[in-house]
Structure 1
Amino acid sequence: MMASKVALLEERKEERAWENWGRGEFAEEAMKQVLFSVPMILTSVAYYGIPLVSVMFAGHLGDLELAGATLASSWATVSGFTLMIGLNGAMETLCGQAYGAKMYRKMGIYLQASIIICLSACSMLAVVWWFTEPILILLRQDRAVAHAAAAYMRPLIPALFAYGQIQCLIRFLQTQSIVTPLVVCSVSSLLLHIPITFALVHPLGMGYTGAAVAAGVSQWISLLMLVSYAIFSKRFEETWQGFSTEAFAIILPTLRLAIPSAIMVCAHVANELGAGHVDKAKKAVKVTLKLSIILALTFVLLLVFGHNAWAHLFSNSPLVITEFVRMTPLLSASILLDSTQGILSGVSRGCGWQHLAAWTNLAAFYLIGMPIALTLCFVMNFYVKGLWAGLVCGLFFQASTLLIIVLRTDWTSINLSVENDNCVLT
């Protein structure tokens, strides 16, 4: 009887904790999250901005160039860059929990295994990217646009190899709460990218392909900066102890987490769980969700009130600008939902729930989002708006399902055992 009362009190206490988000109860945790997340946001925006700036330069060369660069950028993101982020999702779980458990040497081993995995994946993807034109034509794309996209994709291949290794190093540093160097390397590379792109496209006469080449040059500059910091800094004496053949032995176990993460596409949560601090992990989730919603709403307001300015960055065509304005409401909804699911997916990786989240994502987009998108686009003739509306429906289901999982999870039952020189999820 006494035990049931204690359980009831604990349940009510948990409910009040979720209800008291806006009352300053988590101010200290919020400050920690801001100090950690703002540099990571700047890093992500900077790395996203490098290929985006290249598309901007290509877009101002003409409508066909804009269409080709945009299609190539989308294809590169879906088939390559996002995959690199997903494959490194295992590092958020493994390195995050190893760091929390003070098993520092294992972090260097996990880094090497992830680099091997990413380089192997990049080698296979490079072949796919080389044959972009026949693939896009097979997918019923316009031949002229497919040809332009292929011309943009091939010189972009070196950027993929650099980006994969950058993502490995980002996870390695962020799980140790080392974020300032990431900001310096990413933002400085973005700032250098603008004159590099201009020089290759215009004075050096490379034109359209020069924009893609510039993206690769800037990514490799950033990678060399990060590698130099990791080698010469004394902050990694415990976590990086040189190359080891042990990395080859854990490639398959790492892949078991990496592949579901790639299908999915929170280091702080993993740190706390690895250290056994369940309450702190839960608090981190609550505060991060709140901050992500605020940030997403800020971006939505900037998009709604400045859509013409954003459109002019990519093209001077009145038709392109008009179509962009029409898509703004759907884009705003997808930003808000995507920010929420992004945090919840990060929590899933931190807790080692990759497989559960992967199945959720597959169901959200292939069983719900895609059928709705195809119906609205081709049956009801809403075309592009229909496709995007289907995406929004998929995001809504994904975010809602992940939120339910997080809310209903008994966090004390998460069994993350880290024993001596090995990190095992059970």
Structure 2
Amino acid sequence: MEDGNSEPLLPPGEVDRTRGSYHEHQRSSSTLAFFAPGIEDIGPITGPRVFFREFSVEAKKLWYLAGPAIFTSICQYSLGAITQLFAGHVSTLTLAAVSIENSVIAGFSFGVMLGMGSALETLCGQAFGAGQLDMLGIYMQRSWVILNSTAVVLSLLYVFGTRILKLIGQVEQIADSAGILALWMIPQLFAYAMNFPIAKFLQAQSKIMVMAVVSAVVLVLHTVFSWLLMLKLGWGLVGAAVVLNVSWVIIVVAQLVYIFSGTCGRAWSGFSWKAFHNLWGFVRLSLASAIMLCLEIWYLTALILFAGYLKDAEVSVDALSICMNILGWTIMVAFGMNAAISVRVSNELGAAHPRTAKFSLVVAVMTSFMIGVAISIVLIAAREEYPALFSTDSAVRALVRKLTPLLAVCIVINNVQPVLSGVAVGAGWQALVAYVNTACYYLFGIPLGVVMGYRLNWGVEGIWMGMLCGISLQTCVLFFLVYRTNWHKEASIAEDRIRKWGGRP
């Protein structure tokens, strides 16, 4: 294992020469020259004309990354949703089992794996920006080692799924079926462990389109074979497990074929024993990334959990579930922008372009805010009509209409907040943001929501308003941190990080 004084990948002079030759290569390739970090840092913004010109250039770079990332997120998010859709046509028990396994066991594992894989957004992005392409493959292999080891531990959740579900109060029949399904879904867990490092590896190089194409093809195949196995051939739960597992394995294998075929150049030079170097430092950053993300996922899950203890629990939970489904789809847009800004910031910091990194943040925040406002306006305008698409119960529809203004505010905030989190990941602030999330969400937001919902008898609105205050506080804290950031210092830290976690070729 390497220590904190490990030698850099290349001596400083060699790093500079490598970076120079790398940018010479960029100049010979129009695609790389446009989407990879620029040769020079952005100049001062001297007026509106310069601002809008640079805004247009940066927006194109962001949307080149964000567009395919959004599409990929929606496709992969839809795999589980389509399985649940067909499960509802098999039986109510099958639907319940698939829903519980997806949301509780697989959902928890998905959050942990995605969070730990996000450490590569910092490391691969900054190494790519610095022109040290050889390290991207090493970082991905290190992440595979850590995430597959974590998957072995998480597999205990799948093995003891039935007991865990019964322990938290799930109905025995549903717990038994969901527990059996969880055992069959263990291959999906290890597919997560391989997929998320691959995704960050490709994102850092702006090779997102291939992920979008693979996800789209798999989604079509997944839909066809789910219908065939679950309904036509009557395999039920077994069919759900087979198709979900195979779909995720195909995603992983297709992306690996793309990488191994030589399309990534120096970024993939084969397997290396360096993957086992400096694992502890990698583990720390991966855990911080996982905690940062999971604290956010569990926070929204807690909202529905607390609603289940209200007087009109069934109506409250149904209405909140509808709102959370809508919020979930809109968050896919925010996740795409999160990935894009993380890549842009890490690339530009790695390339020692602090002003460009800061300007990229400004463009991303403004763009996400406008998207959030547009979606919210549409929802508010259609609040009398859209609840009927999700429920025939008049009480549920009435509560959804009543919650729509809160949903609209939540969409706007949740469109900006992931962008700031993406900056945090790109700059390597995961541990700091994990502390911020703990304080704002669990020491402020949840207690305030409980007081408003139960003590003040404001019901589900009170719970959501309190927790929305926690999200707002967290967003304000992130704004303050970004505003006070010394971007030149962050660029220097990025260079030190690359040298510290590198190794001699």
The alignment's TM-score, normalised by the length of structure 1, stands at 0.85
Higher RCO, 1 vs 2 (CA within 8 Å, ≥6 residues apart): 2
Contact 1:86–1:263 (CA under 8 A) maintained in structure 2: yes
Counterpart residue identity of residue 128, structure 1 = L
1:154 shift after superposition: 3.1
Q: Secondary structure at the match of 2:234?
A: coil
Offset, 1:356: 1.0
Alignment check: 8 A CA contact 2:161 2:178 kept: yes
Work out the number of aligned pairs and report it.
409
Q: Specify whether residues 163 and 235 from structure 1 end up closer, same or farther in structure 2 by C-alpha distance, changes over 3 A only.
A: same
User: In structure 1, which of residues 250, 258, 266 is the aligned counterpart of residue 278 of structure 2?
Assistant: 250
Question: Which of 351, 376, 395 is equivalent to 2:427?
Answer: 351
Write the letter of the residue equivalent to 1:250. N
2:188 is aligned with 1:188? no
> Does the Cα contact within 8 Å between 2:58 and 2:363 map onto a contact in 1?
yes
1:361 partnered with 2:361:
no
Q: Which residue of 2 aligns with 1:404?
A: 480
Secondary structure of the equivalent of 1:178? coil
1:26-45 → structure 2 map (5 Å cutoff):
26-45=55-74
Amino acid at match of 1:253: G
- Match in the other structure for 1:10: none
1:77-156 paired onto structure 2 within 5 Å: 78-156=107-185
The amino acid that maps onto 2:159 is W
| Distance in structure 2 (CA, Å) of the matches to 1:148 and 1:375 | 37
Counterparts in 2 of 1:44 and 1:375: CA distance versus 1, 3 Å? same
Question: Greater shift after overlay, 317-326 or 371-380?
Answer: 317-326
Give the conservation status (yes or no) of the 8 Å contact 2:127–2:350: yes
Q: Which amino acid aligns with 2:291?
A: I
- 2:101 aligned with 1:72, yes or no? yes
Superposed displacement of residue 411, structure 1:
1.5
Q: Match of 1:8?
A: none
RMSD over equivalenced CA pairs, Å: 3.2
Q: Per the alignment, do residues 171 and 410 of structure 1 end up closer, same or farther by CA in structure 2, a change over 3 Å counting?
A: same
Letter in 2 for 1:258: S
- Compute the displacement of 1:58 (Å): 2.3
SS of the counterpart of 1:41?
A: helix
Partner of 1:242, secondary structure, is: coil
Cα separation, 2, equivalents of 1:137 and 1:386: 30
Shift of 1:240: 0.9
Change (3 A) 1:354 1:307: farther
TM-score by length of 2: 0.72
Q: Tell which deviates more after alignment, 244-253 or 140-149.
A: 140-149
Among residues 185, 191, 195, which one is paired with 1:166 in the alignment?
A: 195
Find out whether 1:416 has 2:493 as its counterpart: yes
Q: Pick one of 365, 388, 392 that aligns with 1:289.
A: 365
- Secondary structure of the structure 1 residue equivalent to 2:232: coil
CA apart distance, 1:272 = 0.1
- Residues 245 and 288 (structure 1), Cα distance of their counterparts in 2 relative to 1, 3 Å cut: same
- Where does residue 86 of structure 2 map in the other structure? 57
Give the conservation status (yes or no) of the 8 Å contact 2:120–2:140: yes
Q: Which moved more, 1:59-68 or 1:100-109?
A: 59-68
Matches within 5 A, 1:225-374: 225-232=254-261, 234-265=262-293, 266-300=342-376, 305=382, 328-374=404-450
Offset of residue 98 of structure 1: 0.7
Q: Equivalent residue of 2:495, what SS?
A: strand
SS in 2 for 1:211: helix
Distance 1:262 1:180, change over 3 A: same
CA contact (8 A) 2:90 2:230 kept: no
What is the rounded CA distance, in whole Å, between the counterparts of 1:371 and 1:41 in structure 2?
33
Matched, 1:214 2:243: yes
Q: How do 1:189-204 and structure 2 match up within 5 A?
A: 189-204=218-233
Provide structure 1 residue ranges, at least 5 long, that are not aligned to the other structure. 1-12
* One-letter identity of the residue aligned with 1:118: L
Q: How many Å apart are 1:73 and its aligned residue?
A: 2.3
CA contact (8 A) 1:54 1:197 kept: yes
Kindly state the Cα deviation for residue 244 of structure 1 after the two structures are TM-superposed: 1.0
